[in-house]
Amino acid sequence: MIEILSPAEVTRARATGTLVADILHTLAGRAEVGTNLLEIDQWARAMILGAGAESCYVDYEPSFGRGPFGHYICTSVNDAVLHGLPRDYALADGDLLTLDLAVLLGGIAADSAISFVVGESRPAESVALVESTQRALAAGIAAAGPGARIGDLSHAIGESLRADGYQVNTQFGGHGIGSTMHQDPHVSNTGRPGRGYQLQPGLLLCLEPWVMADTDQLVTDDDGWTLRSATGCRTAHSEHTIAITDDGADILTLPTGS
Ligand code: MF3
Ligand code: CO
């Protein structure tokens, strides 16, 4: 089912989006060499509950994971790219960390992910991966103009990733969002322009380009959740929730003051 939100619901979605972004950026500021992934999960829990919001992850039990997720945020390090289950691991200088967070506030969900390098070093390949997903995300959002179809966004994302020399895996992509975290339509990270559902004002979408340095194959970790690159190469992921408006798209998951 595709949900179209009323203007009042879109206003509530903006509050959820700001909360998700503020939590992510606060956590990114605190994540340093020596920080444990389980601490990040506890900080996320405290901020979600402190804001009167609800986690979309803790009880989440999709077909692609083992049992309820049981944590408040996805923490994916280096070769881990999606659904990273927080574990007892202390971050090292130069680790590439992806934080992915979705919460429900006032009955509306928002979902966002950021990737960044921890500590002082700036490994060139990791920076390139992160910037590629950011560019692809911007290209997808720019394609969400009046009259656009899902295929236009998917095409823009895929072409941007490919122009940077990466292969595109189509097992996981973006999605509609609203009163629940995962809804139709699916937003593949590759596609054909002019195809698919035509965007309507009031639709919320999550766009989420992700890449792996030298493969398009994933493997599932022994934890039953964390998805890693099959070759062990590094990976990155960037995600925003956007609201379709009369004249384009608004990014909802930007931090306060940006
Ligand atoms: N936020 C992810 C997405 O973008 C979903 C994470 S599911 C979890 O679709 F259970 F792993 F948390
Ligand atoms: Co998502």
In order of their start, the domains of the chain are: 7-250 (3.90.230.10)
Q: Ligand 1 pocket check: which of 16, 60, 71 to mutate, most ligand atoms within 8 Å of Cβ? A: 60
Residues in the chain: 258
Binding residues for a divalent metal cation: 100, 111, 175, 208, 239
pLDDT surpasses 90 at 188: yes
Looking from the CA of residue 85, the nearest atom of ligand 1 is 11
Q: Is residue 126 within 8 Å of 119, Cβ to Cβ?
A: no
Looking from the CA of residue 172, the nearest atom of ligand 1 is 9
Q: Is residue 239 within 8 Å of 112, Cβ to Cβ?
A: yes
Task: Say what the pTM is.
Answer: 0.98
Kindly report the protein residue whose alpha carbon is nearest to atom 4 of ligand 1. Answer: 111
pLDDT digits (tens, 9 = 90+) for 150-182: 999 999 999 999 999 999 999 999 999 999 999
Model confidence at 199, pLDDT cuts 50, 70, 90, reads very high
d(CA 40, CA 23): 11
Q: Is residue 161 within 8 Å of 136, Cβ to Cβ?
A: yes
pLDDT score, position 141: 98
d(CA 9, CA 96): 35
Across 208-230, average pLDDT? 98
Looking from the CA of residue 239, the nearest atom of ligand 1 is 4
Distant-in-sequence, close-in-space partners of 138: CB < 8 Å, separation ≥ 6: none
Looking from the CA of residue 225, the nearest atom of ligand 1 is 11
Kindly report the protein residue whose alpha carbon is nearest to atom 11 of ligand 1. Answer: 83
Pocket lining for ligand 1, CB < 6 angstroms: 57, 60, 65, 69, 74, 83, 100, 102, 111, 206, 208, 225, 239
Instruction: Sort residue 155 into left (φ over 0), alpha (ψ -120 to 50) or beta.
Output: alpha
pLDDT surpasses 90 at 258: no
| CA Rg value for the chain | 17
From ligand 1's centre to the CA of 67, what distance in Å?
A: 13
One-letter identity of residue 86: P
pLDDT score, position 113: 99
What share of the chain in percent tops pLDDT 90?
98
Binding residues for substrate: 83, 182
From ligand 1's centre to the CA of 102, what distance in Å?
A: 7
Across 28-37, average pLDDT? 98
